[in-house]
């Protein structure tokens, strides 16, 4: 979650995608206060104890399974966000998200309640897993050190070995690549030969490729059965320029985010058109996006309750400035 404060004290939130959730992030907040423990118990009531316990399993092969990972990301982000709000973080003036982060953004904007956001996260993971496990080996990598054109050229160079394409822009000279083997491994090797960095992501499938369209359709049909409300604060998406104005559009955006191109700079730009400042707040499960070379400047983390004083201090200084 990235926050950009305005002089009026309002700020915007940008929830990032699934990354690689830390197994214990939700637990650090659950152990901090009674309200977080009650929230965690509600998650158990909604999705069942077995699934929620898997989200906190130490073995990455277990908590990294897609239908578990989507829940662990949203569960940890929602609990951390609510903990911060209870302890002094002001309500956001605008929210947005990237990929799975759009689901958490809908929660922060009041479009869905806590039980609903958990059910949506789990069903998204189920839909993605059903397709991923029918595909040949594939995955996702972060390409660091080249432009969009460089990333596209890299994909074109190895495309004869399998489907591969740039599926997102996460920052300056930071591109998201998804593809099938052996094209993905060849791209990683070639990136090294070019002097670029390649960070392989511990995921089960080549997310955001067109072959996941059936998951979009299935998820949208499920979302139609869930209670949605019109946004209570400005809700933006990288997929469209205008704010999301109603529940129906929110359902479409959450479904489309499964295959939508991820454009973090554009999404941040749209947020800055609503509220502007340079202070960034991160309230998202730790992982590859938590690496120093990936984070935007002036970022303040909230990965554990102990981070809250520094976060609130940064917010206060940004408001005073």
Phi, psi dihedrals of residue 200, rounded to the nearest 5°: -70, 135
Residue 205 lies in a domain: no
Point out the domain boundary residue: 172, 200, 228. Answer: 200
pLDDT at 294: 53
Collect the ranges in the chain with pLDDT lower than 70: 1-10, 19-21, 276-300, 315-321
Range of 161's domain? Answer: 138-200
pLDDT at 298: 55
How many structural domains does the chain have?
2
| 223 and 99 assigned to the same domain | yes
Residue 102 lies in a domain: yes
pLDDT at 7: 39
| 196 and 214 assigned to the same domain | no
| 129 and 233 assigned to the same domain | yes
| 164 and 64 assigned to the same domain | no
pLDDT at 282: 54
pLDDT at 158: 97
Point out the domain boundary residue: 180, 200, 220. Answer: 200
Report field, pTM of the whole predicted structure over 0.85: yes
């Amino acid at each position: 979650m990235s926050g950009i404060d305005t002089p009026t004290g309002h700020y915007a939130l940008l929830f990032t995608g699934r990354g690689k959730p830390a197994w214990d992030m939700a637990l650090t907040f659950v152990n901090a206060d009674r309200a977080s423990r009650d929230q965690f118990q509600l998650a158990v009531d909604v999705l069942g104890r077995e699934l929620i316990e898997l989200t906190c399993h130490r073995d990455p092969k277990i908590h990294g399974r897609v239908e578990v990972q989507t829940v662990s990301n949203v569960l940890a982000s929602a609990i951390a966000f609510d903990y911060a709000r209870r302890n002094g973080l002001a309500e956001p003036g605008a929210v947005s998200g990237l990929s799975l982060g759009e689901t958490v953004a809908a929660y922060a904007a009041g479009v869905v309640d806590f039980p609903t956001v958990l059910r949506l996260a789990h069903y998204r993971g189920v839909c993605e897993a059903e397709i991923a496990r029918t595909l040949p080996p594939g995955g996702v990598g972060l390409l660091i050190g080249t432009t969009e054109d460089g990333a596209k050229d890299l994909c074109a160079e190895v495309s004869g070995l399998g489907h591969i394409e740039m599926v997102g822009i996460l920052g300056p000279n930071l591109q998201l690549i998804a593809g099938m083997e052996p094209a993905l491994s060849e791209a990683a090797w070639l990136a090294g030969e070019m002097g670029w960095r390649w960070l392989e992501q511990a995921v089960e499938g080549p997310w955001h490729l067109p072959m996941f369209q059936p998951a979009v359709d299935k998820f949208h049909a499920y979302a139609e059965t869930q209670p949605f409300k019109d946004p209570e604060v400005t809700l933006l998406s990288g997929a469209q320029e205008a704010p999301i104005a109603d529940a129906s559009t929110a359902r479409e955006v959450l479904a489309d985010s499964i295959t939508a191109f991820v454009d973090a700079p554009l999404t941040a730009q749209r947020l800055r058109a609503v509220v502007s400042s340079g202070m960034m707040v991160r309230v998202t499960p730790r992982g590859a996006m938590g690496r120093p070379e990936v984070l935007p400047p002036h970022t303040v983390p909230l990965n554990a309750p102990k981070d809250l004083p520094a976060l609130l201090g940064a917010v206060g200084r940004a408001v005073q400035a």
